[in-house]
């Protein structure tokens, strides 16, 4: 006996209320329908604002003020983030001193710095710091401070003081939102403040923002668009936003699909 969309919708939303991530194959098996049917259902539910599609499934919709957990972020647009990281790494030169902020996109960037020589990496991100111990051969400075467990980074007065003692060539910051009126924003006030200091202490600001961040404003202001040197986004960035950023005089570098 076939299950109607409304019945599937109820079950999908119920499952999502209990889990951070739901996966297409598991849903297809549970509802005894094809994976293609589930994908169409997820498309419809995303348009209704009930969930957000990610690679292989969906996650809960979070408000633009409430930040998704680090684990949830890992599920959102992973292919796009990987491509953005690879492209951003091409901007790093031998001998650079680079600030790398928190978030999941900068984490992927580390593996693409393996061949860079005499690079100093400065970060408040705990996963980035751990990752550098495994594959990065340059100099690493970890910014100490109060630990934000959910976002897996450090923040607070000690982190701010430490950051102010250092100068860098480039700051590579992951954005929560990119807006023509509100500029670059983040979900957390403390982390946005750290990002502002990183930018002030750097010669060049590189913002990492996948296509879903365009036109979004989250809770805390980081900087104006005019303070950004380059925005690195992905191939799904709309023509409209490419044109808008060009009009604002912001250089946009698009990562190619692999």
pLDDT, one tens digit per residue, over 26-58 is 999 999 999 999 999 998 888 877 787 776 788
Q: Which pLDDT score, from 0 to 100, does residue 66 have?
A: 55
Which class in CATH covers the domain with range 74-255? alpha beta
Name, in order, each residue with C-beta under 8 angstroms of 209's C-beta and a sequence gap of 6 or more: 84, 174, 175, 178, 184, 231, 232, 233
Assign 79 a pLDDT band (cuts: 50, 70, 90): confident
Q: For 117-163, write each residue's pLDDT tens digit.
A: 999 999 999 989 998 988 888 999 999 999 988 778 898 899 999 99
How many CB atoms within 10 Å of residue 112? 17
Mean pLDDT, the chain, integer: 87
> What are the residue ranges spanned by the domains of the chain?
5-61, 74-255
The span from the CA of 99 to the CA of 229, in Å, is: 14
Assign 115 a pLDDT band (cuts: 50, 70, 90): confident
In this model, does residue 205 exceed pLDDT 60?
yes
Architecture of the 5-61 domain: Orthogonal Bundle (1.10)
Q: Which pLDDT score, from 0 to 100, does residue 77 have?
A: 66
Q: For 55-68, write each residue's pLDDT tens digit.
A: 678 877 654 445 55
Contact (Cβ atoms closer than 8 angstroms) between residue 56 and residue 24: yes
Angle at 66 between CA 60 and CA 68, to 5 degrees: 50
Assign 14 a pLDDT band (cuts: 50, 70, 90): confident
Helical spans, DSSP H, in the chain = 5-18, 24-31, 35-47, 70-75, 78-89, 105-109, 126-135, 157-164, 189-200, 239-247
């Amino acid at each position: 006996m076939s299950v109607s969309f409304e019945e599937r919708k109820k079950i999908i939303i119920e499952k999502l209320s209990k889990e951070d991530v739901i996966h297409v194959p598991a849903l297809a098996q549970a509802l005894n329908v094809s994976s293609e049917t589930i994908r169409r259902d997820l498309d419809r539910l995303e348009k209704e604002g009930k969930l957000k599609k990610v690679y292989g499934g969906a996650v809960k919709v979070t408000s633009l003020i409430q930040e998704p957990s680090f684990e949830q972020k890992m599920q959102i647009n992973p292919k796009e983030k990987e491509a953005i990281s690879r492209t951003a790494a091409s901007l790093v030169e031998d001998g650079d001193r680079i600030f790398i902020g928190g978030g999941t996109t900068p984490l992927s960037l580390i593996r693409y710095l393996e061949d860079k020589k005499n690079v100093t990496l400065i970060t408040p991100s705990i996963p980035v710091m751990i990752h550098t111990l495994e594959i990065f051969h340059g100099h690493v400075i970890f910014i100490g401070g109060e630990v934000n467990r959910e976002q897996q980074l450090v923040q607070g007065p000690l982190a701010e003081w430490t950051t102010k003692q250092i100068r860098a060539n480039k700051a590579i910051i992951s954005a929560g939102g990119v807006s023509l009126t509100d500029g670059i924003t983040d979900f957390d006030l403390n982390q946005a403040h750290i990002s502002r200091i990183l930018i002030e202490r750097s010669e060049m600001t590189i913002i990492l923002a996948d296509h879903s961040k365009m036109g979004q404003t989250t809770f805390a202001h980081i900087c104006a668009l005019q303070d950004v040197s380059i925005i690195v986004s992905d191939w799904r960035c709309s023509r409209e936003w490419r044109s808008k950023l060009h009009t604002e005089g912001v250089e946009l570098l698009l990562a190619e699909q692999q």
